[in-house]
Amino acid sequence: EPEVTQTPSHQVTQMGQEVILRCVPISNHLYFYWYRQILGQKVEFLVSFYNNEISEKSEIFDDQFSVERPDGSNFTLKIRSTKLEDSAMYFCASSGDGYEQYFGPGTRLTVT
Amino acid sequence: GQQLNQSPQSMFIQEGEDVSMNCTSSSIFNTWLWYKQEPGEGPVLLIALYKAGELTSNGRLTAQFGITRKDSFLNISASIPSDVGIYFCAGQRERSQGNLIFGKGTKLSVKP
């Protein structure tokens, strides 16, 4: 069964450093998303991406964040200058129809 | 922002018992999704609901989309130990507004 994959599974970085989180969505999907989950809390939407552009973003997704689909398979989330409060699990999701969203296993980002 | 109220927050049940959890909102959603999350993993889609009043089953799981479009419930029948996890409801207003709004989750514990 096709799956969303994410790398790395765990990323440790120092405050102020840039990080890139990578995702490979399910191959025939057209809608892509990033969410985050701070430990013990609910999942929060960051950004959605369709037709090679951002379709919606939340207040969390400020100028420090960017997304890119550099080729036909990868979808990346970049955080330019990480802050302590960026520590969270980051989930990529994809959807074929814009309704059912399938999540990857997540990247645990730890900012020290 | 929109909030989903999910209850109960946690449940401790005996193997074989039935479980019911629900989500309510002050706003209308056009799609309701139910996910299960196990420790260290991403949310796994269980059931998707698209029409008010719709009742959908997936094995021992049954979910309904409320008539008012502001609520949904999930039932698990004859629970087993592997049902342990956190169950999240998620609502979506429009496909073009890709973001899912998640509830805070119901943590299910099953005693063998």
Per-block mean pLDDT, blocks of 10 residues, chain B (112 long): 88 96 94 94 95 96 96 97 96 79 96 90
The DSSP symbol for B99 reads P
pLDDT at residue number B40: 87
Distance CA B93, CA A59 (A): 17
Taking only the tens place, the pLDDT of each residue in A62-74 is 999 999 998 878 9
Question: Which residue among A41, A58, A105 places its CB closest to the CB of B42?
Answer: A105
Query: What average pLDDT score do residues A86-109 get?
Result: 95
CB < 8 Å to A43, chain B: 43, 88, 90, 100, 102
CB < 8 Å to A4, chain B: 42
Residue A29's φ and ψ, nearest 5 degrees, are -80, 155
B9 touches chain A (CB under 8 A): no
Query: Distance, in angstroms, between B23 CA and closest chain A CA?
Result: 14
Return the percentage of chain A with pLDDT > 70, whole number: 100
Is B89:B25 a contact under the CB 8 Å cutoff? no
pLDDT at residue number B1: 61
Q: Which of B99, B101, B102, B104 to mutate to test the interface with A (most CBs of A within 10 A)?
A: B99
Q: Is pLDDT at A1 greater than 80 in this prediction?
A: no
Nearest CA in chain A to B92: A99
In the numeric block, which tokens belong to residue A50?
Answer: 């369709």
Is A35:A93 a contact under the CB 8 Å cutoff? yes
Query: How far is residue A112 CA from its own chain's centroid?
Result: 20
Residue B22's φ and ψ, nearest 5 degrees, are -145, 165
Is A3:A104 a contact under the CB 8 Å cutoff? yes
Is A39:A84 a contact under the CB 8 Å cutoff? no
